[in-house]
Every structure is written in C-alpha cells, then in structure tokens.
Amino acid sequence: MRAWLLYGVLWLAMLALRHDFWWWDDRRLVLGFLPVGLVSQAAYSLLCVAVMAWLVRRCWPAQLERLESDE
Amino acid sequence: MIPALIVFAYLALVLYLGIFAFRRGSGTGEDFFLAGRSIGPFVFLFSLFGTNMTAFAILGSSGLAYQRGIGVYGLLAASSCFVIPFTLLLIGTRLWAHGRRFGHMTQVQFFRDRWECSGTGTFLFVLTATMLVPYVIIGVMGGGATLEALSTTVGPDGQLTHWVSYEVGGAIVALVVMSYVFLGGMRGTAWVNTLQTLLFLTFGVAAFWLIGARLGGYDEVLQRLAGDPRTAPLLTRERISHPEFFSYFFIPLSSIMFPHISIMCLTANRVSAFRRTIVLYPLCILLIWLPSVYLGVVAAGEFPGLGPGQTDDVVLRLLRTHADAWLAGLLGAGIMACVMASDSQILALSTMFTEDVFAWYGGRRRFGAAAEVWTGRLFVVLVAVLSWVAAQLLRDRVGIFELAVRFAFSGYAALAPVMLAALFWRRSTKRGALAAAAWVALAVGGTWYLHATSVPPAPGQPPVPIFPALGGLLLRSAGGVSVYGFLPVLPMVAVSALLMWGVSLVTRPPSEPTLRRYFPEPR
C-alpha cells in the first residue's frame, strides 16, 4: 500500500513539474541559442533519469529476481 | 544520389542481419517470436527504444515543431521520459515474469490465462490488432516517401529527378522488412532495431553540430527567429494550450499497451535487463528528440512559409542544404531505419495471430508446434504485401492513417487500467476487462466520427462547440476533438478505469487456483 502511495505522489509531482507554466511565453535564450522553455524541459528529462535511478533502487521488484533464481 | 546509395548499403546490412539471425535460431516458436527469451541488457535497451521510435520521432516532431515551436518537446518527449520507463518498471517487469513462468508470448495469452476467458481475449485481440494495422501501413508509406526524397536530385535547370519512385521505394522497404522478419524473427528484429538506434544516436548528434556549423552557429539563427514577430512564438509554448499540454502526459501510457512493446518485454533474458533500460530510457529520448525539435524550429527560419502538409521533410531539407552528401546519406539511413520501425509491428501482428487465433482455436493441436512458426512466417509475408498494396491504393489518403494512429495512441493508453488490474488486483474480472475494452472501442470510434463530421474553425480561431446545447463539453479545433479543451485520452482512461473497477466488483472473479498462481503471496 505504501508503494502505491509513493507511486501516486511521484506521478502527481512529475505531472506538476513538467507543467512549468512560468516559462510558458518566456522568449529568453540561454547561452544565446537555447530557448529557456526548451532548457527547462530538457532539464526535466535529466531529472527523470535521476528519478528512475532512484526508483530502480527503492522499488525494484526483488521477488522477480528470486523467481529467476528458483528456476 | 550518394545518400540513396548509402541507404541501399544500409538495407543490405539489415538483410544480412536477418540471415545471420536465421542461422542462430533454433526453429521453435518461442525462439522465432521471442528470440528464445534470451535478449541481454544492451540489445534490450536499444531494441526496445528503437521499436518505440517511429518515423514520427524524427520527421513528424520536426514538422510539428516547425508549426508549433519548442513546446512540442515538452508535449511528447518530456512526458514519455517519465511515463514510459515508469510503466516499464511497474508493468513490463511483471509481464516478463508471468511470461517466463507460464509461457505467454502475447498480452492476450496472459489475459486469457489470468481471467480464465476466451471471448474477452478474442475481443482484446481484435481491438489491439486493429489499432496496430495503420502503423504498419504508414511505415510502408513513409519508407516509399523517404526513399523517393533521398534519391531526388536537382538538375541544372531546377528539374527534379526521382531515381527511386514512391512505389518502388515502398516495395523495397516492404521487401527488406519482410525478409529479415521472415528469416530472423524477433532476434533479427531486435538486432536491426539496435543498429538503427545506435546509427541515429551517433549521426543525429553529428548532423546537429555540422548543420549548426554550416549555418554559422545557432546563435545567429535563433536571434533572427526571436526578432521576427512571425517566428518568435516558436521559441515559446504560446501555440499550445495548457489543457492540451496537460493531457499529453497520459498519452505515453499507450507505450506498454502496444502489442509490439509488451511482446518485446518478454524477450529479456533476465529481469535485471530492465534496470539499465528504465534508467537510460529518458536520456535516449532526450538525445533523439531535442535535436529533432530544435532543427524543426531552425527550419522555420530557413524555409519560411511551408504549409502543414509540407513540413514533415524539413530535416531532410536541412540536410540537403547544409550537410555534405556522405553525412546526408548516413543520416538518411538513420531516418530510413526509423521509418522501418514497422518491422516489430509486423512481427507482433504475426505473433498475435499465430498464438491468439491459430494456436488458441486448435491449430497447434491439429498441425503441431512446428506449424506455428510457418504460420507466423506466412502471416509476415501476407501483412507486408497487403501493407504495400494499401500504401499504393490509398497514397493520397495518408492523412486518414495519420489520424488513425493518433486515435490509436489514446485507445492503447485507455487500455492501461485493464493491464494494471490484471497484474495487481486479485478481484478484477474478465467482465470488467470486457466492459473497459468495449468502452475503448466505442470511444475511439466515437472520437473518429466526431472528428470526421464536425467542421473545424478557421486557422487561428478558437475551438467551436460541436453540439452547442452541450456548451464547451465537446469542442472542435483545427487539431481535433477535445473535451472541455482536454484531449479525449483523459476521459477515456478515467472511464476505462471506472468500468474495470465497477464491473469487476459485481461479477465473479476467477477461480481460487488461478488466483493463487498469479498472487502466491498471502493476503
């Protein structure tokens, strides 16, 4: 049950973070060639790498690996 | 002509991979359809990613970014960066485990066994297979069009010469795909998908830097775009509404429900193969989509004034104009590889037909296990030939297939609650699954009907109510039908989950022995 709560909270947090309305119509260019809205979404993608690395450590279905070794 | 020759060399290479995979095969059904469940972590990551990466990731995203700006990345790619690896962790690993324990090769085999049903499984087979067919046809269409574009030369008088026509290009693509899927089955398909992903990751990044260098740096181009009031909105998300952006978060739920992706999940040799795939998947998306979307926006400054139907080849135009012939050829081969992503879809249709129809309705019993592989192979040939014929007959109706693919995304996403219930909820029943699947079929058909029969507003105008008496419930914009401004995928997923839950509660669950097989832990 705690795992499902974690999944739910994580889902909502990532949904909210992706929706970065504060950059919505910002035309500034980062380093002169990258639109700030694109940089923020690219940063979100990198955050996803970190979140997935954490999830794989924290919520890995270890019972499936036991099933493998039972075979 | 050099790009076309390099593309032909690539096609010969993938054909060779198919032959090589054939020689490694053992001839059993599990070996042909699932590579004997032996795919290691490296090939698993790149083949799964390559399978998911269709022509749209490169050509379609650039074309859409040309029209709507940088927001296209957040719309489609950023949402996939979270949702796809999340579903691989939650659903993909469990599907793999059940497949390994009980020998399933398709989603429908799992549903039939889990819910002790036949008809519901057949309904799910028909629904998922029908939604997959437009993908295969559009893959052959894209192959023909891309080969024609790559082999086009401009004479001194400005006359265009197509060395390979759309018809011949489509036939070559269909023949090559058919051959390596026919021979190599899943092993050949996985190897080719790995090659295609590595090719595009390598040359895509190289092309991005080289095009930038030829343009004198991206700074100048972007400053020019920012200074022009017609193109400045492309550097923002002004052309995307908040409800639309929000809704797109739910579209990648479709990924794990695509038959070819879920079948691919069954091919891993160990569950640990998922670990690296889950972590690195968002990085692969970033490396492919970011340059594609960025180049689409750059193309808006380079080739202004293209209409919606003319923007899908803006990356090819940039390559023709700013990259030398060799690089254009290498990247063209990468693009070709993406277009040819229909390989895993053809194989998935063949696996589904063989296992869910032929074997289930007595074919295995009557003709033996060996007949399964040959049935699968014959089905591969049949699908490839019919796709080519459809691509020729309906060439001028490509929009219909593109539309079908869009609706299919929502349809598959709305089937995700069915899969979640099957995997995690003991009390779920076949009637609940049938109700949810019937809703999905109805909703996809209904959305299509509303799209086809309603009149879109003029470009630049706000959405109009389809039924004025219902107020803003159903709206029609130039892009399609929405529900209070949100994409239909949102209510489709919500109602599907409710039906799965509600109908399951009032119908009989599977027998206790079946439940104990799938939920061995004590409650």
- Dist. CA B186–CA B180, nearest whole Å: 9
Q: Quick one: pLDDT at residue B278?
A: 97
Task: Write down the residue that tokens 């978060």 correspond to.
Answer: B249
Tokens encoding B151: 């082999």
Q: Which residues pair with B39 in a beta bridge?
A: B268
Q: Which of A19, A52, A65 has the CB atom closest to B272's CB atom?
A: A65
Evaluated on CA atoms B84, B90, B91, B92, the torsion sign reads positive
- Dist. CA B178–CA B377, nearest whole Å: 9
CB A37 within 8 A of CB B246: no
- Residue B404: enclosing H or E segment and its boundaries? helix B398-414
Q: Is the pLDDT of residue B403 over 90?
A: no
- Mean pLDDT over B367-386 rounds to 88
Q: Is the pLDDT of residue B521 over 80?
A: no
Name the band, by pLDDT with cuts 50, 70 and 90, for residue B401. low
Q: Is the pLDDT of residue B3 over 90?
A: no
Q: Is the pLDDT of residue B150 over 90?
A: no
Q: What is the ipTM of this complex?
A: 0.96
Q: Quick one: pLDDT at residue B353?
A: 94
Inter-chain residue contact B245 with A19, CB threshold 8 Å: yes
Q: Quick one: pLDDT at residue B310?
A: 75
**Tell me, what amino acid is at B188?**
G
Nearest to B59 by CA among B312, B229, B280: B312
Chains A and B form CB pairs within 8 A to the count of 125
CB B269 within 8 A of CB B34: no
Tokens encoding B174: 């269909």
- Dist. CA B481–CA B468, nearest whole Å: 14
- Dist. CA B181–CA B189, nearest whole Å: 6
Name the band, by pLDDT with cuts 50, 70 and 90, for residue B472. confident
- Dist. CA B121–CA B126, nearest whole Å: 9
- Mean pLDDT over B351-376 rounds to 89
- Mean pLDDT over B240-267 rounds to 94
Tokens encoding B221: 């181009």
CB B426 within 8 A of CB B519: yes
| Chain A residues near residue B68 by CB distance under 8 angstroms | none
- Dist. CA B355–CA B368, nearest whole Å: 13
Q: Is the pLDDT of residue B388 over 80?
A: yes
- Mean pLDDT over B425-444 rounds to 97
Name the band, by pLDDT with cuts 50, 70 and 90, for residue B372. confident
In A, minimum Cα distance to B287 occurs at A42
Name the band, by pLDDT with cuts 50, 70 and 90, for residue B83. very high
* pLDDT digit string, tens, across residues B21-66: 888 888 888 999 999 999 999 999 999 998 887 766 667 788 889 9
How many CB atoms neighbour CB B419 within 10 A? 23
Q: Is the pLDDT of residue B475 over 70?
A: yes
Inter-chain residue contact B101 with A41, CB threshold 8 Å: no
Q: Quick one: pLDDT at residue B398?
A: 62
Name the band, by pLDDT with cuts 50, 70 and 90, for residue B155. confident
In A, minimum Cα distance to B85 occurs at A52
- Dist. CA B465–CA B27, nearest whole Å: 57
Tokens encoding A32: 């002169």
Q: Quick one: pLDDT at residue B506?
A: 97
Q: Is the pLDDT of residue B510 over 90?
A: yes
- Mean pLDDT over B353-360 rounds to 94
Task: Write down the residue that tokens 């923020």 correspond to.
Answer: A40
Q: Is the pLDDT of residue B399 over 70?
A: no
* pLDDT digit string, tens, across residues B476-487: 988 789 999 999
Evaluated on CA atoms B390, B394, B398, B399, the torsion sign reads negative
Q: Quick one: pLDDT at residue B147?
A: 78
- Dist. CA B74–CA B62, nearest whole Å: 13
- Mean pLDDT over A6-18 rounds to 95
Q: Which of A26, A33, A37 has the CB atom closest to B218's CB atom?
A: A33
Q: Which of A29, A38, A60 has the CB atom closest to B73's CB atom?
A: A38
Q: Quick one: pLDDT at residue B43?
A: 96
> CB of A49 within 8 Å of any CB in chain B?
yes
- Residue B160: enclosing H or E segment and its boundaries? strand B160-162
pTM here? 0.93
Q: Quick one: pLDDT at residue B395?
A: 75
Residues 6+ apart with CB under 8 A from B241: B485
In B, minimum Cα distance to A33 occurs at B219
Residues 6+ apart with CB under 8 A from A26: A36, A37, B236
CB B273 within 8 A of CB B65: no
Name the band, by pLDDT with cuts 50, 70 and 90, for residue B237. very high
How many CB atoms neighbour CB B79 within 10 A? 26
Q: Quick one: pLDDT at residue B356?
A: 95
| Chain A residues near residue B279 by CB distance under 8 angstroms | 49, 52-53, 56
Nearest to B353 by CA among B379, B373, B371, B377: B379
> CB of A37 within 8 Å of any CB in chain B?
yes
- The whole-chain average pLDDT of chain B stands at 88
